[in-house]
Structure 1
Amino acid sequence: MFELNSALKATGIAAAIFMLSGPGYADDIEDSINEALEYYHDGEYKDAVESLNYATQLIQQKKGGELEAFLPEPLDGWSAQPPSSQAAGGAMFGGGVTAERTYSKNASSVTVRIITDSPMMQGMMMMFSNPMFAASDGGKLERVGRQKAIVKFDSDNRQGEINIVVAKRFLVTIEGNDVSAEDLKAYAEAIDYKKLKDMP
């Protein structure tokens, strides 16, 4: 019953979100929630949980699509693949909702990734609260634009990453190969953090 009660708490959130979705998404989410309620009233708790989990998955997919809008356009001289998003299981990026886009320029490549609702946030917050944790992993606490960031860069191999936590809800990661530190910082600064922070 604990699993069912936890799942039922999601129905209120789901009901609020599906009304903001497109008609197709709204119909699918609403249908799944109503189906779950029918199963619940009939005492078919396992089926109720499965229907609620499906509704949750649809909501996460919608959220991932909204995150894609925050991925920057390619910088001058760079090209980019279309953005993509997914609701990942625990084995991928620690779970949660992920949106990412890969950029290239000759042999150089950069991937910008935004993750939310992930258990990874707790560990990253520890690194930001205590620079010793970041240093032990080869990182350095810096400011990139107006954002606090943990920067790791190997100048010999021209590769590295920047991690930024936004509003304690989003983890922004910029990874690059055959790039300069300035390339990574330029992509980090191209994100609209104020709008991301205000995302519902």
Structure 2
Amino acid sequence: MFTINQIPWKKVATACMLVSLFAFACNASADDVTDTIEEAMEAYKKGEYKKASEDLSYALEAINQKKGNDLKAYLPEPLEGWTAEEAVAQTANVTMLGGGTMLSRTYHRSESLITIEMVMDSPLMQGVAMMMSNPMFRSSEMGELTRINKEKAMVKYDNKEKSGNITMVVANRIMITIKGETVSKEELIAYAHAIDLKKLKEIE
């Protein structure tokens, strides 16, 4: 029998990841992701834990990329008088984000610029949501608390610089940031209202 210190935690973690990803694979059509998951399972059965771990990392990144591409449809079209660049999705495997999926889209009108960013399934989400919901964790530097489409939002705006940002957390798993330069506060809020938060909540 193993003591708590003797349990092979790396092997246990790999096995748990395999089970989770296999469940995903069962609901997906055969593609590069499901093939890689199957290869990881074979490597795990053979005791090739390094290869299994590398295959799982690749599969997770590919899944996050797919989620990012699916999320593009939830970024709003440019408002009247504005133009927009193509949405960009990427996996966020950087320390500051803690992992997850990130996508963004930039909107232009003359000298005005607004960028909407969405980060999905990052470990940081719970911390941000806590700061927004608990006055003890909020500071004046975060901006004023308000509601947009019935969701809590932090709005920070500099009248002198004509710039600001809005931060929202939807369903405790999607953080939305709207940043603007040479824009009015009303324009920032208008883009926040243009996001279909109800549909975002329905994402699995």
**TM-score (norm: length of structure 2):** 0.88
1:153 equivalent to 2:154? Answer no
Alignment RMSD: 1.8
Cα 1:154/1:188, change in 2 over 3 Å:
same
Q: Deviations over 1:111-149 (max 9, x none)?
A: 111111213213311221223533332411011232210
1:129 matched residue in structure 2: 133
Q: Secondary structure at the match of 1:152?
A: strand
Choose the corresponding residue for 1:73, options 74, 77, 84: 77
Q: Which runs of structure 1 show a deviation greater than 4 angstroms over 4 or more consecutive aligned residues?
A: 18-21
Structure 2: distance between partners of 1:70 and 1:92: 24
1:141 and 1:149 in contact (8 A); partners too: yes
2:3 matched residue in structure 1: none
Structure 1: distance between partners of 2:136 and 2:188: 23
Structure 1: distance between partners of 2:33 and 2:101: 17
1:175 equivalent to 2:182? Answer no
User: Following TM superposition, by how much is the alpha carbon of 1:94 offset from its aligned partner in structure 2, in angstroms?
Assistant: 4.3
User: Following TM superposition, by how much is the alpha carbon of 1:9 offset from its aligned partner in structure 2, in angstroms?
Assistant: 2.2
Q: Deviations over 1:71-113 (max 9, x none)?
A: 0000000000000111112235443211110001011111111
1:28 equivalent to 2:28? Answer no
User: Following TM superposition, by how much is the alpha carbon of 1:13 offset from its aligned partner in structure 2, in angstroms?
Assistant: 3.4
Q: Secondary structure at the match of 1:195?
A: helix
Choose the corresponding residue for 2:116, options 112, 118, 124: 112
Moved more, 126-135 or 178-187: 126-135
1:11 equivalent to 2:11? Answer no
2:126 and 2:173 in contact (8 A); partners too: no
2:154 and 2:166 in contact (8 A); partners too: yes
Choose the corresponding residue for 2:145, options 135, 141, 157: 141
In structure 1, the gaps of 5 or more residues are none
1:100 matched residue in structure 2: 104
Moved more, 168-177 or 118-127: 118-127
Structure 2: distance between partners of 1:29 and 1:44: 19
User: Following TM superposition, by how much is the alpha carbon of 1:20 offset from its aligned partner in structure 2, in angstroms?
Assistant: 5.5
1:90 equivalent to 2:97? Answer no
User: Following TM superposition, by how much is the alpha carbon of 1:151 offset from its aligned partner in structure 2, in angstroms?
Assistant: 0.6
In structure 2, the gaps of 5 or more residues are 1-7
2:189 matched residue in structure 1: 185
Cα 1:179/1:118, change in 2 over 3 Å:
same
Aligned residues: 197
Cα 1:174/1:19, change in 2 over 3 Å:
farther
1:163 equivalent to 2:167? Answer yes
Whose radius of gyration is greater, 1 or 2? 2
Q: Secondary structure at the match of 2:161?
A: coil
Amino acid paired to 1:122: Q
User: Following TM superposition, by how much is the alpha carbon of 1:66 offset from its aligned partner in structure 2, in angstroms?
Assistant: 1.1
Q: Secondary structure at the match of 2:59?
A: helix
Amino acid paired to 2:61: Q
2:5 matched residue in structure 1: none
